[in-house]
Amino acid sequence: MIEIRWHGRGGQGAVTASELLANAVVRVGKFAQSFPAFGPERRGAPVLAFTRIDDNPIEIRWQITEPDVIVVLDFSLISVVNVVSGLKKDGFIVLNTSKNSSEIRSMFPGYKIAKVDATSIALKNLGAPITNTSMLGALLKAVPIVPFDVMLKVVEERFDPRNSNSLKETYEKTEVLV
């Protein structure tokens, strides 16, 4: 089983990204679940979403406390939330950041990391800092959970072409540090 925890802020699309990934996973014949964890949050407040993926039916449904992968849609959350809490030793961190590789490695020693400036890509393509489809591209570059073309098809069916452009550009520009 692969367990992914998404860290974002209200309005950035963490919950939607988790749902889109689960949709793509089901299309390739695997099992998936996606669910959020939030209360009366408002736009900009920290939000969590979760995705589980397996070859067999998934019978558990609780928050993911020991993820294989974390995806951080907004780097400012690093100073507010311990995003790596419970991350497995061989886990992957997928970050939206413009910081350089050496700075990121020093912040998260011992982890595999993928980084990309998804905010700039989203602003360019969407005109807003909504990084959900961008970070799906970064995730797939780091951890090829589903074929890229399947994820692209799911995004194209849900959103206009600007989101597909964000997905493609982020996939191409993501730097994987292992």
Q: State the architecture of 2-177 in CATH terms.
A: 3-Layer(aba) Sandwich (3.40)
Q: pTM of the predicted model, to two decimals? A: 0.94
The 3-state DSSP class for residue 157 equals: helix
The per-residue pLDDT string of the chain (178 residues; one tens digit each, 9 = 90 and over) reads 999 999 999 888 999 999 999 999 999 999 999 999 866 556 778 899 999 999 999 999 889 999 999 999 999 999 999 999 999 988 999 999 999 999 999 999 989 999 999 999 999 999 999 999 999 999 999 999 999 999 999 999 999 999 999 999 999 999 999 8
CA 131 to chain centre: 9
